[in-house]
Structures are given as structure tokens and as C-alpha cells.
Amino acid sequence: MHFDNSSCNGCDIEVLACLTPLYDVERFGIVNMGNPKHADVLLITGPVNRRTARVLRNLYEQVASPKMVIAVGTCASSGGVFHNCYNVLGGVDKVIPVDVYIPGCAARPEAIIDGVVMALQSLTEQRHLWVTCPHCQTEHEVTDQRWRI
């Protein structure tokens, strides 16, 4: 799920570019979700300000564990150009834990896809499922390969 904290929208356009036919992340099984309860990964752009901090924490708590948080762009990583503004708290990690930081102003789609892949690799290690084979009744370890962002 993509959430715009309070960015200038430069990073948001690059996130959207990942969904266009040019980059087409859906071919890797990555689907953008509108509901945090259906997402595995929270993709955040922009710095945290006093108004969005509560919303961000609320969204984070609604994403089921195991989950990953990706800070997209310099602002989401550290506050960036908005650092020390009167209403800005700083990067996303001032409010919720961040797993992957993607630098850049704006972060390039290639870097965003790279960061998402890193997060999904880490999620894959955490999310090994055990299913019982209906034929031999033994348990097999499988990995969920579809991801909702």
C-alpha cells in the first residue's frame, strides 16, 4: 500500500510510474492495494508532519504481520528538504520502524523496484507456509509468491 505522508508528489509520480506499462511491476506479482488490511508492504513517501503522524501509525497497525515498511525518497528517509520545518517531525522512522530506505530526490523507479524486491526477499524468509499434501499427508514448506503493496 502506498501512503503519501506530505511529499511534494515527486516521489509519488515515480511510485505510480512503477505501475505503468513501462515498468509494470504487476508482472512480478506485485499488486497495489487500497486497504492496509490487504497489504504486506507499506510504501511511504514524504516526511512525517504533525498531522500525518497519527494516520501513519494507524495504517501501520492495520497491516498484518509479518510486514515491511519502505521509506521512498530522501524526505521519507530523513525529512529531506523539509527537515527542521516547524511542522515536520522528520523521516518515517520517527513514528514507525522502517525496513528499507530508498534514497533519491525523487527516488527513481528502478531504485523503488530494487527496494521492494529487497523487502519481499526479507518477507519471504519470514513467511514460510506449511501445507499438508492431500495425497501423502506429509507437511511441505511453501512460500507465498504473491505480494500486495
In the bound complex, what is the minimum distance in angstroms from residue 5's beta carbon to ligand SF4?
9
Distances (CA, A) of 148 to 57, 69, 105: 19, 13, 25
Residue with cell 505480494: 147
**Nearby residues of 63 by Cβ (< 8 Å), 6 or more positions away:** 1, 36, 37, 39, 40, 42
In the bound complex, what is the minimum distance in angstroms from residue 128's beta carbon to ligand SF4?
35
Nearest CB to ligand SF4, comparing residues 99 and 103: 103
Residues near ligand SF4, by CB under 6 A: 7-8, 10-11, 45-46, 73-75, 80-81, 105-106
Contact assessment for residue 43 and residue 19, using Cβ atoms and an 8 Å cutoff = no
Nearest CB to ligand SF4, comparing residues 31 and 113: 113
Nearest CB to ligand SF4, comparing residues 75 and 123: 75
In the bound complex, what is the minimum distance in angstroms from residue 138's beta carbon to ligand SF4?
50
